[in-house]
């Protein structure tokens, strides 16, 4: 998988390759124990900012996301939303801070940009939802292509779920952000990304995998959240055939996954692995 033609970072103090995988600020608060004792505390609050996804100088969507790994976010969103078919179609990528937030600007073929006119998101995407702003039901339920589900032992899935917390430094600090991780067939986690939005975390993971040339056939994705429709759609577009989540998937997620040939896994009680 080839890299984008050119990637240019701005002078913003939050370059996408630097710093922790999710960003936070320290704020003062008060802690109240069950026995009534009160004490001052410092809490790490996750940052959340509007991030515009801009194609050929035209804004397509504004998502609320953690201002870290924004290069991965832009690339992964573009691939996971089916805006382009592969990484080679993405040209120059820039990340810059604007007065109202941040922008990830990308150049794509004109025919791809023209196709976006009819599917522009009319409102900002909240951090809790990956489909906000789509204009009709047909757009929400758009079919995805078939993918091949890898053969992975349940023990490997359980090992990845058990290891996931060790790849969530942001959550360790603030108990707020979600993670999306990539594990090999042996269940060992190779990389992870965090974000206040579960779908944004998956976008970042997909972007990071594309930049590193990691083949989606060689493992599976692990999510710290529940598995819903838009996460299945994004994973399918990225060629991910096995999607595992800490919480159980929804009925629509299961139905969509089955039509795509995907397998869904979830963490059950007392460490058991449930397959859908």
Residue 55 belongs to a domain:
no
Residue of 29, 129, 200, 227 marked active site: 129
Residue 126 belongs to a domain:
no
Note if 29 is an active site residue: no
Host domain of residue 195: 154-275
pLDDT at 162 over 80: yes
Which residues have C-beta within 8 Å of that of residue 276, sequence separation ≥ 6? 249, 254, 257, 263, 264, 265, 266
In 3D space, the residue among 7, 14, 29 whose CA is nearest the CA of residue 65 turns out to be: 14
Number of structural domains the chain divides into: 1
Residue 222 belongs to a domain:
yes
Taking only the tens place, the pLDDT of each residue in 7-40 is 443 333 334 443 345 577 788 888 888 888 888 8
Residue 256 belongs to a domain:
yes
pLDDT at 271 over 90: no
Residue 37 belongs to a domain:
no
Query: pTM for this one?
Result: 0.83
pLDDT for the residue 129: 54
Query: What percent of the chain shows pLDDT beyond 70?
Result: 83
Residue 42 belongs to a domain:
no
Where does 168-262 show beta strands of DSSP type E? Answer: 178-184, 189-195, 219-223, 242-245
pLDDT for the residue 42: 81
CATH of residue 165's domain is 3.40.140.10
- Mean pLDDT of the region 110-116: 94
Tell me which of 76-90, 165-179, 215-229, 233-247 is least confident: 165-179
Residue 246 belongs to a domain:
yes
Residue 193 belongs to a domain:
yes
Q: What is the mean pLDDT of the chain?
A: 84
- Separation of alpha carbons 119 and 255, rounded Å: 24
């Amino acid at each position: 998988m080839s890299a984008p033609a050119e990637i240019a970072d701005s002078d913003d103090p939050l370059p996408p390759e630097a710093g922790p995988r999710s960003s936070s600020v320290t704020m003062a608060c008060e802690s109240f124990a069950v026995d009534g004792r009160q004490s001052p505390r410092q809490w790490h609050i996750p940052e959340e900012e509007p991030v515009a996804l801009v194609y050929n100088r035209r804004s397509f969507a504004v998502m609320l996301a953690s201002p870290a790994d924004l290069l991965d976010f832009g690339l992964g969103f573009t691939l996971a939303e089916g805006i382009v078919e592969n990484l080679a179609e993405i040209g120059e990528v820039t990340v810059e801070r604007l007065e109202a937030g941040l922008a990830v600007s990308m150049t794509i073929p004109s025919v791809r940009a023209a196709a976006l006119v009819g599917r522009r998101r009319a409102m900002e995407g909240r951090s809790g939802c990956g489909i906000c702003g789509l204009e009709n039901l047909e757009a929400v339920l758009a079919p995805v292509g078939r993918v091949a589900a890898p053969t992975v032992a349940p023990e490997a899935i359980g090992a990845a779920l058990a290891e996931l917390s060790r790849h969530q430094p942001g959550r360790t600090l603030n108990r707020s952000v979600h993670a999306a991780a990539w594990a090999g067939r042996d269940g060992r986690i190779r990389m992870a990304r965090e974000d206040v939005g579960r779908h944004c975390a998956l976008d970042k993971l997909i972007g990071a995998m594309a930049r590193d040339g990691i083949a989606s056939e060689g493992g599976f994705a692990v999510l710290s959240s529940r598995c819903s429709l838009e996460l299945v759609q994004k994973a399918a577009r990225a060629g991910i055939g096995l999607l595992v989540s800490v919480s159980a998937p929804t009925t629509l997620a299961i139905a969509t996954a089955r039509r795509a040939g995907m397998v869904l896994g979830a963490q059950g009680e007392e460490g058991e692995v449930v397959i859908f």
